[in-house]
Amino acid sequence: MPDNRIKEHPVLDFDRGKEIYFEFEGKKIKAYERETIASALYANGIHQFTESKKMHRPRGFFCAIGKCSSCIMKVNGIPHVRTCITPVEEGMKVERHSAQPEIPEIEPEPYPEPEEKEVEIAVVGGGPAGLSAAIVAAEFGGDVHLFDEGDSLGGQLVKQTHQFFGSHKAEAGTRGIDIGTDLLEKAKEMGVKIHHNATVLGYYPEMTLTVDAGGKLEIYHVKGIVYATGAIENYLAFENNDLPGIYGAGGVQTLMNEQGIIPGRKVLMVGSGNVGLIVSYQLLQAGVDVVEVVEAMPHIGGYQVHASKIRRAGVPINTRHTIVKAKGDYEVESAIIQELDEDWNPVPGTEREIECDIICIAVGLQPDNHFLRQAGCDIEFVRELGGFVPIRNKDMETTVEGIFVAGDAAGIEEATVAVLEGRLAGAAIIQRLYGTSEDTQKEKEKAREGIEQMRKGPYGQMPRRGVKVCTIDEEVC
């Protein structure tokens, strides 16, 4: 079997942990204890994880962060397990299953009453926004529980090997990965109770959360919630867009920068926003060939510095181009790209076939906030923020009292703003529960100032306009 694990990387060291073995459809497979099932399979050259419901088409992973169900498999007899966020274990049995698997036989007591607990503050999501909110709320004395469905925390930050150069002093020049690790350390230090592999399933009136804690249902009655689940990657419609080998940019980052596994040999990047450009550069760093970047807009979407870096490395960026088709029987073998005219229609005769085994989709993100809709928060479509977002006040509190939102879940921006929004929400939730104080007020003002600063830059214009239409001019206290 091939081994697609990265052996040497200019910036990253991969601490994969102990070597272990598990079983995939009867075959013994080598893995490392810090890998997920999906990445261990991928490292061994297995790219098809499931099949589509009706047409039985092969499917690989897509998001690699538990948000798309494209990677569900049968694990130790239980079907529908999201293998991209499930850690691999010694002796585990993993199989593919059809769209309609048998109901598994489970032996233990059918109905242990779910455990019900009362805690003060629940933070949902352990990315930069969630961690920051948890840290600040804990600093001000809150009893904070943080839930994340992943095995490791840090959210999208731990995948960012590049240096941040936001105008916010604190983080400029630091690599995202280090910011993520620092936040996690700080949260632990502050006494935040961290729940890994814990998926928050839903919200129930009033202020109750259900949590899938590794297959066990837990119920939390809380006083306040900060919701910071980040974003979901956008998808593109084109022929054969479900072939294994077509992955979200975030998915590629997770596989490559977090798990240390190369996604393939030759990549077509779709989208030249900062994510597309940065991931292209990261692919080059990992020794992967980026054949071309296509961009539907007439100009490059991201920062010039990022574009120049990959151009210098010889990667062409073709604006006014899009992907129209992927080719391959079981996996991507090539892609057809085509030029677009001024009305965004493909120009006949300009089709070009590009040989590649990976098509990386980097066409933006949309806020992940289904939970807030379930909780009855008012939601508004704000194009500038990437889609449907909750209406919030100046303290990031939604229209349901006691439920706050921060980071990409509130609107697509970037990590520094996510940190600051988290801090703002962390201080504000303390005010909501215990009333205002000079310190919490100061913290809020500092965070808001930082956000203002960030939104003054050229790329802050969009979110700046966006938040205007969905922010109510009020504070918690």
Partner 1 sequence: MTDSAGVVIIGGGVNGTGIAYHLAKKGYTDVIVLEKSYICSGASGRNGGGIRQQWSTKENIKLAIESTRMFEELQKELDTDLEFKQGGYLVLAFTEEEVEQFKKNVSIQNEMGLDSKFINPEEAKELVPELNISKVKGATFNETDGTIYPFKVVHGYAKAIKEMGIDVREHTEVLDIEKNGDEITAVKTNKGTIKTDTVVNAAGGWSKKVAEMLQVDLPNKPYRHEIMVTEPYAPFLDPMVISFHHGIYFSQSEHGNIVGGIGNPNETEGIEQRASLWFLKTMAKTLVEFVPRFKGMNMLRQWAGLYDTTPDAQPVLGPVPEVKRFYQVNGFSGHGFMVSPVVDKVTAELILGETPSMDISDLSITRFEDMDIEKEYSVVG
What x/- string results for residues 78 through 107 when contact with ligand FES is judged by CB under 6 A? ----x-x-----------------------
Owner of token pair 């450009």: 277
Residue identified by tokens 């948890």 is: 134
Binding partner of residue 53 among partner 1, ligand FES, none, CB under 5 to 8 Å per kind?
partner 1
Query: Residue 20's CB: how many other CB atoms inside 10 A?
Result: 17
Does position 66 interact with ligand FES (CB under 6 A)? The reply is yes
Counting Cβ atoms within 10 Å, is residue 112 exposed (0-12), middle (13-18) or buried (19+)? exposed
Among the listed residues 9, 23, 101, 186, the single contact to partner 1 using CB under 8 A:
101
Q: Which is nearer to ligand FES, 43 or 138 (CB)?
A: 43
Q: Which of 1, 45, 56, 80 binds partner 1 (CB under 8 A)?
A: 80
Interface residue with partner 1 among 114, 141, 214, 435 (CB under 8 A) is 114
How far apart are alpha carbons 76 and 109 in whole angstroms?
18
Q: How far apart are CA 294 and CA 316, in angstroms?
A: 8
Using CB under 8 A as the binding rule, whether residue 208 contacts partner 1 is answered as yes
Q: Does 68 bind ligand FES (CB under 6 A)?
A: yes
Q: Among ligand FES, partner 1, none, what binds residue 305 when CB lies within 5 to 8 Å by partner kind? A: none
Q: Applying CB under 8 A, which of residues 100, 112, 299, 342 lies at the interface with partner 1?
A: 100
Q: Which of 37, 71, 290, 362 binds ligand FES (CB under 6 A)?
A: 71
The residue among 114 and 202 lying less far from ligand FES, judged by its C-beta, is 202
Q: Which does 392 bind (CB under 5 to 8 A by kind): ligand FES, partner 1, none?
A: none
Return the one option of ligand FES, partner 1, none that residue 82 interacts with (CB less than 5 to 8 A, by type). ligand FES
Q: 71 touches which of ligand FES, partner 1, none (CB within 5 to 8 A by kind)? A: ligand FES
Binding part of the chain for ligand FES, among 56-64, 291-299, 403-411, 450-458 by CB under 6 A, reads 56-64
Least separation in angstroms between CB 257 and ligand FES = 16
Query: What are phi and psi for residue 110, nearest 5 degrees?
Result: -65, -40
| Segment interacting with ligand FES (CB under 6 A) among 11-19, 60-68, 92-100, 467-475 | 60-68
Cβ proximity to partner 1, 285 vs 398, nearer residue: 398
Q: Tokens 């239980």 map to which residue?
A: 78
- Binding residues for ligand FES, rule CB under 6 A, total 12
The span from the CA of 43 to the CA of 34, in Å, is: 13
Nearer to partner 1, 387 or 422 (CB): 387
Q: Does 56 bind partner 1 (CB under 8 A)?
A: no
Q: How far apart are the first and last CA of the chain?
A: 61
**Contact call for residue 219 and partner 1 (CB under 8 A):** yes
Residue 249's binding partner, choosing from partner 1, ligand FES, none, with beta-carbon cut-off 5 to 8 A by kind? Answer: none
- Identify which range of 62-70, 156-164, 178-186, 409-417 contacts ligand FES by CB under 6 A: 62-70
Q: Which is nearer to partner 1, 59 or 320 (CB)?
A: 59
For ligand FES, the binding residue among 12, 41, 63, 294 (CB under 6 A) is 63
Minimum separation from the CB atom of position 218 to partner 1 (A) = 12
> b/e map of 93-104 (b: 16 or more CB within 10 Å)?
ebebeeeebeee
**Interaction with partner 1 in 406-445: which residues (CB under 8 A)?**
none
Place of tokens 């690790």: 181
Q: Which does 56 bind (CB under 5 to 8 A by kind): partner 1, ligand FES, none?
A: none
The contact set with partner 1 (CB under 8 A) reads 53, 78-80, 98-106, 110-111, 114, 202, 204-205, 208, 210, 219, 374, 376
The contact set with ligand FES (CB under 6 A) reads 61-64, 66-71, 82, 84
